[in-house]
Amino acid sequence: MNTLTSLLGVVACTAIASSAQAAFITFGNQTLWNQFVTGSGWQVATETFSSVADGFYAGSYSGSTGGVNWIGAAASGIYAQGGLFSTNNPEQLDFTFSPGVQGVGGNIFGTDFSFNVVPCIIQVTLADGSSYVNYATTATDFVGFYSTGAAIASMSIQTTATGAGAVYATVDNLYFTVVPAPGSLALLAVAGLGSAARRRR
C-alpha cells in the first residue's frame, strides 16, 4: 500500500467519524483532493478562465463548465489577465455555484497590481463559515473542499499581505465535482465488478 492510498484511507475514516460534527473536509493538496473525489464516484470539471478576455468587468463575471454555473464577484469589480481571474482592488473575491457542488477546489494565491505572484496569507471560507487559512507563495498552491452533506453553494477568498504592498485575491483554475455521464457510470460499474472478481480468486 503506497503512502497516498494510506492518506486517502485516513481522510475517509476521518470523514466518516466526524461527519456528525462537521460536513466539510478541507484539502491543501490537489492530488489528494482529486483522488478523494474521484474515488467517491465523481468526475472533475475544470474552469481554466482561459476564455475570459483580459480586462475589467464591473461587479461580477459569470461562466459555466461541466454543467456548473458560477459567478465571480468583488465590490470593485473583476480583472482578468492571461487566464488569471482576480479582483480589481485588494478586496474579497466571492464565488457562487449553481447548482451547488459536493466538491470544489482551486489554485488560489495572491498577486500584485501587475499579476506577479506575491507571498500572502489566504483565507477561503464557505457559506457555513468553514474555512481554510494558510500561506500562499506560488500559482500552484491549492485549496479544496468536499462536503459530506449539503452541497457547496459559495466560496469567498481573502488575502492578507505578509510584506509591503497590496495583494489581490487571484485564482488560476477552479475544479468542480460533477456527476459522471451514464456511459462512464457503466464503465465504473464494470471495472468494480472486475476488481471484485479478482479479489475473490
Taking 90 as the threshold, does the pLDDT of residue 164 lie above it? no
pTM of the prediction?
0.80
Question: Could you give all domains of the chain from N- to C-terminal order, each with its CATH number?
Answer: 23-200 (2.60.120.260)
Contact predicate 78/200, CB 8 Å? no
Q: Write the CB contacts of 175 (distance below 8 Å, at least 6 apart in sequence).
A: 30, 33, 34, 44, 45, 46, 47, 103, 104, 105, 106, 144
| pLDDT tens digits, 33-74 | 999 999 999 999 999 999 999 999 999 999 999 999 999 999
3-state helix, strand, coil in the chain (%, to 5): 20, 45, 30
Going by their DSSP bridges, the two strands 103-111 and 120-126 should be labelled as: unpaired
Among the listed ranges 11-15, 76-80, 92-96, 167-171, which one has the minimum average pLDDT value? 11-15
| pLDDT tens digits, 110-163 | 999 999 999 999 999 999 889 999 999 999 999 999 999 999 999 999 999 998
Which of the two residues, 184 and 117, has the higher pLDDT score?
A: 117
Q: Write the CB contacts of 68 (distance below 8 Å, at least 6 apart in sequence).
A: 45, 97, 98, 99, 101, 176, 178
